[in-house]
Amino acid sequence: MTTATGSRIVSVGHYQPARVLTNDDLAQMVDTNDEWIRDRVGVVTRRIADNETVADMAAAAAEKALAGSGLTAADIDLVAVATCSSVDRCPNVATRVAAKLGIAAPGAYDINTACSGFSYALGTADHAIRAGAARNVIVIGAEKLSDFTDWTDRATCIIFGDGAGAAVVTAADEPAIGPVVWGSAPEKGETVRIEGWRPYIQQEGQAVFRWATTAIAPIARQACERAGVAPEEIAAFIGHQANARIIDGIAKRLGMPQAVIVKDIVESGNTSAASVPLALSKLVERREVPSGAPVLLVGFGGGLTYAGQVVRCP
Ligand code: UT7
């Protein structure tokens, strides 16, 4: 296989379960209300999977992305899945997706960096293509966080949702996926946890909020710089959909207008590694941003980890 100058996202796809859980539904389950959730987090609805697994949702999103790519399963030589909520340790989600889509012998790995996972996985796909280790890659973010939600804890159960988003990435002469900027703050790692002995999402919300609203804007700025794009030239900003106030805070520090900020959190909640590709796929579906326009992706969360890059809209 030959190396390539760069890579690009050719097509995207997403999947969300049918069941909608509203803020009023949650108010029947815990001591909360629609107004608090809208004001403090920005979520109005989220989707909850019933029978679907992480791999089912990942495969459904990947199938849609593949259908729009002009490629077939036989062309795919790498599947990378970002997730932190797959219940099974083995086999991984990537091989299950490959089996469901009939991709015969791809490289197949899962990445767990929680909410920043899609940008990490996209970065590794770009690297693999540039190194000549792959030509056509499916990159997926998929989560079923409802399996790890304590439905009696109002501080967390109102935030999260389930879903998946996927992108088909291929070799390109003109690089259309900017250099990934990634890193972590391990000393703050215990502020978001899903521990084996108590497998529910626990987080020190205020500590993560403070970190995200101060640490992530400089990372986003670096991602723009490394792509050679000024923040004011960004056509859409897709931050991890953790909290609408966090997204606004980052955008404000970057000097970005409201018009470019993507807030899928309103209808999907926080879907961890799925949130960025889900929002990107919906943005492309709505045709809000012209093909080729620069879109800033930035994930952050458990670990605490972060990653971001500027991509050209497919
Ligand atoms: O994606 C993974 C990374 N995670 C994040 O990025 C999360 C970052 N953190 C956050 O988004 C926010 O901190 C939360 C949404 C988790 C919480 O919002 P907050 O504004 O930081 O609320 P708080 O925890 O400071 O709580 C404020 C008040 C408290 O009441 P008192 O002590 O002031 O009387 C809470 O008990 O709001 C209360 N509260 C609620 N009230 C109604 C907490 N949860 C709820 C609720 N409904 N669901």
286 lies in some domain: yes
| Local confidence band at 3 (pLDDT 50, 70, 90 cut-offs) | confident
Q: Just list the catalytic residues.
A: 115, 240, 270
What would the mean pLDDT of 289-307 be, rounded to a whole number? 97
- Write down which residue in 138, 153, 172 finishes a domain: 172
Q: In angstroms, rounded to a whole number, what is the distance separating the alpha carbons of residues 169 and 152?
A: 40
Q: Are residues 167 and 185 in the same domain?
A: no
pLDDT one-digit tens code per residue, 14-58: 999 999 999 999 999 999 999 999 999 999 999 999 999 999 999
Which tens digits make up the pLDDT trace of 299-310?
999 999 999 999
Closest by CA position to 254, among listed 204, 305, 219, 282? 219
Q: Is 276 domain-assigned?
A: yes
- Alpha carbon of 242 to ligand 1 centroid (Å): 12
Q: How confident is the model at residue 177 (pLDDT cuts 50, 70, 90)?
A: very high
100 in Cβ contact with 163 (< 8 Å): no
The CATH number covering residue 204 comes to: 3.40.47.10
In a domain, 1, yes or no: no
pLDDT band at 152 (very low <50, low <70, confident <90, very high): very high
Q: Are residues 164 and 188 part of one domain? A: no
What is the percent of the chain where pLDDT is above 90?
Answer: 98
Q: Answer yes or no: is the C-beta of 300 below 6 A from any ligand 1 atom.
A: no
Give the range of the structural domain holding residue 45, as residue numbers without chain letter: 6-172
17 and 109 both lie in a single domain: yes
Domain shared by 102 and 128, yes or no: yes
**Cα(123)–Cα(280) distance, rounded to whole angstroms?**
16
Instruction: Please check whether residues 162 and 298 belong to one and the same domain.
Output: no
pTM metric for this prediction = 0.98
127 lies in the same domain as 189 = no
> Beta strands 294-301 and 236-239: pairing type?
parallel
Tell me, yes or no, whether 149 and 257 share the same domain. no
Domain co-membership, 162 together with 14: yes
Q: Are residues 164 and 194 in the same domain?
A: no
53 touches ligand 1 (CB under 6 Å): no
115, 143, 172 - which closes a domain: 172
Instruction: Please tell me if the CB atom of residue 205 comes closer than 6 angstroms to any atom of ligand 1.
Output: yes
**What mean pLDDT, rounded, does the chain reach?**
97
Number of structural domains found in the chain: 2
Q: Measure 2 CA to ligand 1 centroid, in angstroms.
A: 50
Residue 50 falls within a domain, yes or no? yes
pLDDT at site 1:
75
In this structure, are 203 and 244 located in the same domain?
yes
Q: What is the model's pLDDT at position 174?
A: 94
pLDDT band at residue 198 using 50, 70 and 90 as cut-offs? confident
Shared-domain flag, residues 166 and 248: no
Q: Is residue 225 part of a domain?
A: yes
Q: Is the separation of the CB atoms in 169 and 137 below 8 Å?
A: yes
pLDDT at 67: 98
Phi, psi values for residue 64, rounded to 5°: -65, -40
Position 311 pLDDT exceeds 80: yes
Would you say residue 239 lies in a domain?
Answer: yes
Residue 82 lies in a domain: yes
- What is the C-alpha to C-alpha distance for residues 86 and 143, in angstroms, rounded to an integer? 7
Peptide bond into 78 cis (omega under 30): no
Measured distance between the N- and C-terminal CA atoms of the chain, rounded to whole angstroms: 24
**Judgement on whether residues 15 and 123 belong to the same structural domain of the protein:** yes
